[in-house]
């Protein structure tokens, strides 16, 4: 296992469409997933997509915080709603028309936070690195993290989803002015 270098906004790998994984159970995918998990945990991120570690494949990992954003510790926030998930070749279906804004951060856009409006309810499907099918519905932050990560696979970073760039701010300021900080993915 290894901690991988994270590509930052401006690197072409973050702007291209990632390729499907022909065999999610292949040994090189297992290795990639193990390294991505280690990198995500080391960076204290909520999620990570393969293009963020310079690999243009449709692989994401995430650990969605629960609905209880008032939970005191980071550990408590991360241990709910979506368990640690490896999602390969994901597909997202938007359920309903409800949208909601929330603060996002990204390990590829360090030190910033932006307010992004996204669909609240989704269904997502894919497989994990052991070949098991994943088919879940998600809402709230769980749905937000999945959408943020899957956007990476299509070359989209969260600032491109923002409608008002006045709400792109430094996280050091967010700490002072916002109740809820969100987390980076």
Active-site positions?
A: 149
Residue 106 vs 143, nearer CB to Ni ion = 106
Decide: is 63 part of the binding site for Ni ion (CB under 5 A). Answer: no
Per-position x/- string for 89-128, each x denoting binding to Ni ion as judged by CB under 5 A, each - no binding: -----------------x----------------------
* Interface with Ni ion: number of residues (CB under 5 A): 2
Spell out the SS3 assignment of the chain.
Answer: CCCCCCCCCCCHHHCCCCECCCCCCCHHHHHHHHHHHHHHHHHCCCEEEHHHHCCCECEEEECCCCCCCCCCCHHHHHCCCCCCEEEEEEEEEEEEEEEEEEEEEECCEEEEEEEEEEEEEEEEEEECCCCCEEEEEEEHHHHHHHHHHHHHHCCCCHHHHCCCHHHEEEHHHHHHHCCCCCCEC
**What is the smallest separation between the CB atom of 98 and Ni ion, expressed in angstroms?**
23
Contact pick of 39, 85, 127, 185 for Ni ion (by CB under 5 A) = 185
**Nearer Cβ to Ni ion, position 23 or 180?**
180
* Shortest distance, position 106 Cβ to Ni ion, whole Å: 3
Q: Binding to Ni ion (CB under 5 A): which residues in 4-23? A: none
For 145, half-sphere exposure in the C-beta direction (CA atoms, 13 angstrom radius) is: 31
State how far the Cα of 59 lies from the Cα of 128, in Å rounded to an integer: 9
- Cβ distance to Ni ion smaller for residue 25 or 37: 37
Name the residue nearer to Ni ion (CB basis): 127 or 149.
Answer: 149
Q: Which residues are near Ni ion by CB under 5 A? A: 106, 185
């Amino acid at each position: 296992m290894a901690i991988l270098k994270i590509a930052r906004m401006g690197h072409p790998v973050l702007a291209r469409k990632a390729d499907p994984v022909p065999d999610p159970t292949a040994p090189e995918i297992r290795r990639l997933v193990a390294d991505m998990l280690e990198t995500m945990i080391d960076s204290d991120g909520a999620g990570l997509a393969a293009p963020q570690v310079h690999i243009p494949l449709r692989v994401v990992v995430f650990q969605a915080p629960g609905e209880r954003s008032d939970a005191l510790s980071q550990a408590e926030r991360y241990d709910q709603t979506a368990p640690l998930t490896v999602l390969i070749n994901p597909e997202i279906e938007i359920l309903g028309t409800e949208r909601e804004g929330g603060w996002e951060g990204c390990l590829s856009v360090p030190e910033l936070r932006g307010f992004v409006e996204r669909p609240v309810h989704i269904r997502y499907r894919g497989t994990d690195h052991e070949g098991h099918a994943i088919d879940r519905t998600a809402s709230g932050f769980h749905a937000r993290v999945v959408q943020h990560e899957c956007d990476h696979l299509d070359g989209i970073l969260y600032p491109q989803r923002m409608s008002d760039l006045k709400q792109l701010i430094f996280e050091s300021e967010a700490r002072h002015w916002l109740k809820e900080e969100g987390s980076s993915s």
